[in-house]
Amino acid sequence: MMNVGPPEDSLIDQLVESRSFKKNPIQWSIFYGAAAATVLMFIILCALASWSISIGTEMSELVVQAGKILDDVEEMLPVLKSICKHENFTKTYGDVCNTII
């Protein structure tokens, strides 16, 4: 008949008695240290990922603002070209200086 009860030797007892374990015993402090280091690295990676996302969001906003500035510069380009022609600015656009103030 088959023996259905618990085994006579548990798995840990068999491991302790094996030749491999006697040569290289498990040091639990190393195991727990490695686990703690892994968790710490995961936390650091998550922090760096969230920081990178926030920088990307700020860069996106900066690019949108730069686009608006470039649109304004493009609108002012004819005025700049007129100033650079070395002719009297007030002949083309009127007396602009007094209307600004």
> Where are the alpha helices (H) located in the chain, listed in sequence order?
11-17, 19-23, 28-83, 89-93, 96-100
Whether residue 85 contacts residue 78, with contact meaning beta carbons closer than 8 Å, is answered with no
Instruction: Give this prediction's pTM.
Output: 0.46
Q: Tens digits of per-residue pLDDT, 14-27? A: 766 676 666 666 67
The better pLDDT of the pair 95, 41 is held by 41
The better pLDDT of the pair 56, 24 is held by 56
The radius of gyration of the chain's CA atoms, rounded to the nearest angstrom, is 38
Dmax (CA) for the chain in angstroms is: 117
Q: Is the pLDDT of residue 51 over 70?
A: yes
The arithmetic mean of pLDDT across residues 61-73, rounded, is 90
> Which sequence spans correspond to the domains of the chain?
62-101
